[in-house]
Amino acid sequence: MADRVQADVEFLADDLLEGRGAGERGHEVAALYVASQFRSLGMQPAGENGSWYQRVPFRRATHEGSPRLELISGATREALSVGSDAAVRPSITERERRIEAPMVFVGWGITDGRYRFDDYRGLDLKGKIAVAFSGTPKGLPSEVAAHLSQQKDEFAAAAGAIGLIEIDPGSDSPAGTVRGASRPRVTDWVDAKGRTGNTAAGLRFRAGVSEATTQRMFAGAAQSLARIRAEAAGGRHPKGFALKPRFALQDKMKWEEFTSPAVLGLLPGTDPKLRSETVILMGHLDHLGIDPDAKPGEDAIYNGALDNAAGIATMLEAGRAFVRSGKPPKRSVLFIAHTAEELGLLGASYWASNPTVPLRQVAGAVNLDMPVPLYDFTEVVAFGADHSTVARAVADAAKTMGLGVGPDPMPEQGIFTRSDHYPLVMKGVPSVLLFTGHANGGKEVWARFFEEAYHQVDDDLKQPIRWTALARYGELNYRIARTLADAPQRPRWIKGSYFADLVAPGEPRAER
């Protein structure tokens, strides 16, 4: 068992696979490897057109020349210095933009029924630019805060805004929100229907501004910046109002189109009643590729041995365990090796918008992203445990191996919204993300991994990987998938969960 997961990781994390960047040759080779493993296990191809693959169409946008950004007050046009006064992200929906529009301050820029946030209420944003504080008001659970932060473009677009400029809720950073908006390139998928992944339909741009620019935007405003900031700092929602200056933007894009595959294999269920339902075991196969800025002689390859060759290896191991058991699952089990997770959960979000099985029939999903088998883990963590009973299957399976289930070790990080299961959750699929837990030395090992190797070239095969621990994790993943596949009842959302109410209103609930 240890030999098999070791073989998978050693292949996938080899320098020859060049860091498995989405759209790069190394990732294509990795995808072929996974497809070949699926075939050898007797799985059915479950991609598009009878193949093992779902090929995701991507677009990468960069600026051609420098954007021109201006603040306009009356007859005065004031050019903003790009990169220091303001920054705008390249567009994947328009090759060339010429925009000039009024700005409206919209507080935090959040709309949410559960918390009764309605920052756009009473404001006319049609064809205008929303100016919102970055982040979220104090006091929200971290997962909710992370979710709402990520949805701000959608909220602005839904209100009719054509652009979103974020401003810093505090005044002590001269750079303001410029850095967050200074992305040299933006990648997103664009599907056959013209839909996009992380780009909100109708929102034409997103920009950040420095503290000095923010001050200028609020010159002569109905309320002072100091006052609305004080309200925000107190956890309140300052009411919006129109700003005096207008904002103008002119830029040109270079686009590069490419594709990258997800790999999908199916073990068909055999129970006459349950086999139409599907349980998903998934992980991302891609990593960061090759560092284009590495100096000659330096290691330039992001091998991603733990992130996420190790997760894929344990997913394959779970598949092997199903076959070895000689007992097919009752529900169908779909294995997915996603692409472009590292570019913003893009492969999984594409699948969630272009699913290869009807989403209603997906009973639940377990996402395997970055186990850290550098110690003998004795517990696992299921992010999303408060939201659905998928986590109860995790706990049941763990118990059969003498493993415990630990609490979220880093609640401040909002991890639940930061990996590939999240786009599925947004479509109503009960899902969890698994990590190895903090017990038995895990805390120190995780801290060191984040410090020294995570998203660095050192996440490679030189790490002291305990192959027996990784094999054990593979066995656990099998038992979790088996539990979910064979349970009489499919997982349910948990009563009172924020995400349950958001994505699955009216569906049956489990008691907390």
Cβ-based nearer residue to Zn ion, 311 or 428: 311
Cβ-based nearer residue to Zn ion, 43 or 370: 370
Q: What angle do CA 373, 22, 34 make, to 5 degrees?
A: 60
Closest approach of Cβ 284 to Zn ion, in Å?
Answer: 6
Tokens for 334?
């779909």
Q: What is the DSSP string of 133-182?
A: ESS--TTS-HHHHHHHHHTHHHHHHHTT-SEEEEE-SSSS-TTTTHHHH-
CA distance 391 to 112: 26
Cβ-based nearer residue to Zn ion, 329 or 371: 371
Closest approach of Cβ 244 to Zn ion, in Å?
Answer: 45
Closest approach of Cβ 346 to Zn ion, in Å?
Answer: 13
Sites of contact with Zn ion (CB under 5 A) = 307-308, 369-370
CA distance 137 to 244: 25
Tokens for 460?
């490679």
* Nearest of 427, 305, 317, 313 to residue 374 by alpha carbon: 305
- The residue with tokens 């700003």 is 243
91: exposed, middle or buried (Cβ count in 10 Å: 0-12, 13-18, 19+) = buried
CA-to-CA separations, 255 to 117, 181, 291, in angstroms, rounded: 37, 18, 21
Q: Report which residue type is found at 480.
A: I
Burial state string for 9-30 with b = 16 or more CB within 10 A and e = fewer than 16: bebbbbeebbbbbbbbebbbbb
Cβ-based nearer residue to Zn ion, 153 or 307: 307
CA distance 164 to 200: 11
CA distance 391 to 384: 7
Closest approach of Cβ 12 to Zn ion, in Å?
Answer: 13
Cβ-based nearer residue to Zn ion, 98 or 455: 455
Q: Which helix (H) or strand (E) holds 260?
A: strand 241-267
- The residue with tokens 């969960």 is 497
Closest approach of Cβ 313 to Zn ion, in Å?
Answer: 13
- Residue positions counted in the chain: 512
Cβ-based nearer residue to Zn ion, 318 or 415: 415
- The residue with tokens 């349910």 is 492
CA distance 17 to 461: 13
Closest approach of Cβ 422 to Zn ion, in Å?
Answer: 12
Cβ-based nearer residue to Zn ion, 166 or 307: 307
Closest approach of Cβ 54 to Zn ion, in Å?
Answer: 19
Closest approach of Cβ 242 to Zn ion, in Å?
Answer: 43
Cβ-based nearer residue to Zn ion, 187 or 308: 308
Cβ-based nearer residue to Zn ion, 60 or 287: 287
Cβ-based nearer residue to Zn ion, 370 or 487: 370
